[in-house]
């Protein structure tokens, strides 16, 4: 089996990082988690073509090894269309009706194999089906590994905005199989790196320095480091290349920060709000320009604009704002609403819809708000925030940037 690195969250080492984890995943589930009568694996059509058969075959092999002579439980599979449009109340209802039709009971375990859309949606299904059943996250994108799979936030989107209907429901395991990133498109790499840079910007000055100085090396590690290697390269620590070690270090460092914050503030009453740096403005941009502009691209813009808010409040220097923008650009991310990257994705007419008043209206529904008071994570310097929670900021100051 694979040799793995475990990260503790909420008192349990439930984040598992490594390479080529398919066999390890089923073995770990069967030997360390509560048994289930049915396992429901939910993924999308793109991922099903690549991974579904491997997971189905490994299920049978792992069961035979861990429970010899015992009848195997059921493995049911549900495949969804890819993309943000699947993250809806209608899709959630359809999955639940299918599970009820398959006579799934409370001892069912649900597995989410996919990116943030699959993880958020399937986690919400698990949180409410039979008043809550165990679930496992198997994130397949960089963004999902470092951001959405950790912390138990589950949700669907509505016409009023993203993630407004959902629940906190912690996964029993989060399996980060970094071998899957070998097929990651360059734009999805950038999409995930926005959250990696954001995390360093609020918490770890040294990590920000590394990311700032090593953009080419990190990009090569993610996009090129595994492609010319043997099929099982990285399975053991000894077989890992320098690129794989760099990839594991970057992802694990970001995951550790989020795990620490979630452990100390699971329900986002204070400290966990720091992880929303860039998201107050970024989510408002995303609500208008999604799906053409990706989450990480919107967050990158939001981080730079919210850093500018901090500068205008007198807390962050101009050099800090410039360094943050330069670091985001180094990972192929836009840093302004009228950035050529954004303009190329949506065109001038759609871009004109991103007016200050419309952004403020969308921000009025931000979950961090206290009544009508908007709150933003304010940087004191790169790697440190002004407060250990989002800060109240006047509407007029936000509109200025």
Catalytic residue numbers read 131, 153, 195, 258, 268, 272, 276, 279, 283, 295
* Long-range contact set of residues 338-344: C-beta below 8 Å, sequence gap at least 24: 339/301, 341/297, 342/289, 342/293, 342/297, 342/301
DSSP letter at 115?
A: S
Task: Answer whether the bond into residue 291 is a cis peptide, omega within 30°.
Answer: yes
Q: Which one, of 295, 325, 113, lies nearest residue 188 by Cα? A: 295
Helix 116-128 and helix 89-101: axis angle, to 10°?
60
Helix, strand, coil distribution of the chain in percent, nearest 5: 55, 15, 30
Beta-strand ranges (E) seen in 68-131 are 74-80, 108-114
> Which residue reads 């850093």 in tokens?
307
Strands 161-168 and 379-381: unpaired
Dig out the tokens for 107 from the structure. 């001892």
Q: Which one, of 27, 93, 32, 38, lies nearest residue 61 by Cα? A: 27
DSSP letter at 71?
A: P
Strands 5-9 and 12-18: antiparallel
Size of the chain, expressed as the number of residues it contains: 401
> Which residue reads 């650009």 in tokens?
329
Sign (positive or negative) of CA dihedral 313, 315, 319, 325: negative
46 neighbors 78 (Cβ within 8 angstroms)? no
């Amino acid at each position: 089996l694979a040799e793995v690195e475990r990260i503790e969250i909420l008192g349990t080492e439930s984040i598992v990082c490594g390479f080529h984890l398919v066999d390890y995943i089923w073995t770990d589930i069967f030997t360390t988690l509560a048994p289930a009568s049915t396992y429901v694996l939910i993924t999308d059509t793109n991922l099903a073509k690549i991974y579904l058969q491997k997971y189905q075959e490994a299920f049978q092999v792992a069961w035979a090894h861990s429970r010899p002579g015992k009848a195997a439980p059921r493995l049911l599979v549900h495949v969804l269309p890819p993309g943000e449009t699947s993250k809806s109340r209608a899709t959630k209802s359809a999955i639940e009706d299918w599970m009820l039709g398959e006579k799934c009971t409370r001892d069912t375990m649900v597995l989410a194999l996919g990116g943030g859309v699959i993880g958020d949606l399937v986690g919400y299904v698990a949180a409410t089906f039979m008043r809550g059943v165990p679930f496992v996250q198997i994130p397949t994108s960089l963004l999902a590994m470092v951001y959405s799979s950790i912390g138990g936030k589950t949700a669907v989107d509505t016409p009023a905005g993203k993630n407004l209907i959902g629940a906190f429901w912690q996964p029993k395991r989060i399996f980060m199989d970094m071998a899957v990133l070998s097929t990651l498109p360059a734009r999805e790499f950038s999409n995930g790196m926005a959250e990696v840079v954001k995390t360093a910007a609020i918490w770890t000055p040294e990590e920000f320095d590394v990311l700032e100085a090593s953009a080419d090396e990190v990009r090569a590690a993610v996009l090129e480091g595994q492609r010319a290697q043997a099929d099982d390269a990285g399975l053991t620590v000894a077989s890992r290349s320098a690129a794989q070690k760099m990839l594991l270090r970057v992802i694990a460092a970001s995951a550790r920060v989020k795990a620490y914050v979630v452990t100390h503030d699971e329900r986002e009453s204070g400290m966990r709000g720091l992880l929303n740096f860039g998201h107050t403005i970024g989510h408002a941009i995303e609500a208008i320009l999604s799906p053409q502009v990706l989450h990480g691209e919107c967050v990158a813009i939001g981080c730079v604009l919210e850093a500018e808010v901090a500068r205008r409040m007198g807390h962050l220097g101009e050099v800090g704002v410039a360094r943050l923008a330069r670091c985001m650009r180094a990972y192929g991310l836009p840093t302004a609403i009228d950035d050529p990257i954004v303009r190329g994705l949506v065109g001038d007419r759609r871009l004109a819809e991103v007016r200050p008043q419309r952004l403020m209206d969308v921000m009025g529904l931000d979950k961090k708000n206290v009544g009508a008071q908007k709150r933003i994570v304010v940087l004191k310097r790169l790697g440190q925030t002004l407060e250990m929670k989002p800060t109240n900021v006047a509407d007029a100051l936000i509109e200025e940037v």
